[in-house]
């Protein structure tokens, strides 16, 4: 059995995989490369298992790599893999849901605290020239902060990240509500969250935080109408996907003072242009889609991917498969 591992992977996972076959580790981070097209086809000759994170495995790849039997994709949603083509060729595509849930949840709560304490404008004040006493007066009068205590936080989406955010908010004494049409009240209750309709959540929340996946139903979910429903002076956080929101509508809601601030890790164009209107606003905290980028994510995805591959090696069904129909009667 030959395995090519191009995803970021830890040594413990590699050691486990070596018990089952010959492992070539060529992490894309170390190599600074993404395999696609003919380069991917060449790399996969004689390879039975590809463990990938960013390589582009398209329809035309599969007929040219006859030895490939399994793809393990270190992502929650394997957008870099042609799932339909993999299924046609009987190749299971394993996934690693929740691999970066803790990382994104940490950043989300950091964003909430930074907005409530006005980190953006306060940092700017320190860099300004001027009378120190006047600056102090502005800090204590104009930018008095707030606590998460007894704030209503509305989570749009209560999957792995949303649930992790809810758990982190509980010790702060926040009241957490969520909109998730795929979650039952009983399931939400287990993580201490009350379910509401979207409009009701927007009207009640002091902070609205996005944690939904992008589908036909959720694309553009937050537009001018929805931002208008939010409380005057509320805050908006998006560490999920920009496609969930109308950037222009968000900008106008912030510019016109309806919303007090926003913290964004995602943009329509990534990285955003320096002249993106949102970046001109002092009330916006922005990061370049790095919510899931921590050293620990490598460990998380390695353990999830390794555990499912071991299940497959041992004749068991893996827990996370994007095309489970390929597992029926699967043979090496």
pLDDT value, residue 130? 85
Summarised one tens digit per residue, pLDDT across range 104-132 is: 999 999 999 999 999 988 888 888 888 88
Helix H, strand E, coil C: the string for the chain is CEEEECCCCCHHHHHHHHCCCEEEECCHHHHCCCCEHHHHHHHCCCCCEEEECCCEECHHHHHHCCCCCEEEECCCCCCCECHHHHHHCCCCEECCCCCCHHHHHHHHHHHHHHHHCCHHHHHHHHCCCCCHHHHHHHHHHCCCCCCCCCCEEEEECCCHHHHHHHHHHHHHCCEEEEECCCCCHHHHHHCCCEECCHHHHHHHCCEEEECCCCCCCCCCCECHHHHHHCCCCEEEEECCCHHHECHHHHHHHHHCCCEEEEEECCCCCCCCCCCCHHHHCCCEEECCCCCCCCHHHHHHHHHHHHHHHHHHHCCCCCCCECCHHHHCCCCC
Summarised one tens digit per residue, pLDDT across range 244-272 is: 999 999 999 999 999 999 999 999 999 99
Low-confidence ranges of the chain (pLDDT < 50): none
Mean pLDDT, the chain, rounded, equals 95
pLDDT value, residue 329? 87
Residue matched to tokens 């007929």: 63
pLDDT value, residue 137? 79
Summarised one tens digit per residue, pLDDT across range 218-238 is: 999 999 999 999 999 999 999
pTM for this predicted structure: 0.89
Q: Are 309 and 93 in contact (CB under 8 A)?
A: no
pLDDT value, residue 248? 97
- Which residues are annotated as catalytic? 241, 270, 289
pLDDT value, residue 127? 83
pLDDT value, residue 240? 97
Set out the domains of the chain in order of their start, with CATH numbers.
2-99+295-327 (3.40.50.720), 101-286 (3.40.50.720)
Q: What angle do the packed helices 119-126 and 132-141 form, to 10 degrees?
A: 170
């Amino acid at each position: 059995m030959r395995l090519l591992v191009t995803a970021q992977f830890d040594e413990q996972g590699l050691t486990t995989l070596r018990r089952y076959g010959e492992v070539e580790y060529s992490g894309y981070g170390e190599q600074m490369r993404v395999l696609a097209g003919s380069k991917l086809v060449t790399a996969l000759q004689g390879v039975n298992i590809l463990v990938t994170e960013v390589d582009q495995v398209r329809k035309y790849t599969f007929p040219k790599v006859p030895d490939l039997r399994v793809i393990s994709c270190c992502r929650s949603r394997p957008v870099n893999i042609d799932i339909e083509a993999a299924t046609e060729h009987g190749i299971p595509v394993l996934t690693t849901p929740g691999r970066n849930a803790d990382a994104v949840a940490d950043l989300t709560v950091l964003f909430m605290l930074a907005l409530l304490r006005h980190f953006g404008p306060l940092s700017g004040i320190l860099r300004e020239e001027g009378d120190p006493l006047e600056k102090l007066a502005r800090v204590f009068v104009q930018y008095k902060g707030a606590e998460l205590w007894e704030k209503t936080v509305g989570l749009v989406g209560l999957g792995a990240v949303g649930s992790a955010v809810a758990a982190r908010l509980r010790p702060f004494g926040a009241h957490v509500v969520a909109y998730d049409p795929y979650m039952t009240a009983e399931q939400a209750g287990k993580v201490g969250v009350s379910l509401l309709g979207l409009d009701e959540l927007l009207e009640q929340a002091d902070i609205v935080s996005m944690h939904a996946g992008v589908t036909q139903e959720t694309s553009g979910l937050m537009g001018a109408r929805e931002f208008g429903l939010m409380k005057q002076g509320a805050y908006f956080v998006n560490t999920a996907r920009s496609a969930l929101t109308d950037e222009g509508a968000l900008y106008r809601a912030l510019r016109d003072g309806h919303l007090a601030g926003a913290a964004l890790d995602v943009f329509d164009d990534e990285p955003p242009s320096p002249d993106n209107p949102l970046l001109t606003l002092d009330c916006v905290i922005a990061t370049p889609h790095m919510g899931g980028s921590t050293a620990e994510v490598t460990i998380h995805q390695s353990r999830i991917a390794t555990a499912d591959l071991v299940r497959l090696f041992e004749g068991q069904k893996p827990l996370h498969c994007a095309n489970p129909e390929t597992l029926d009667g699967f043979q090496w």
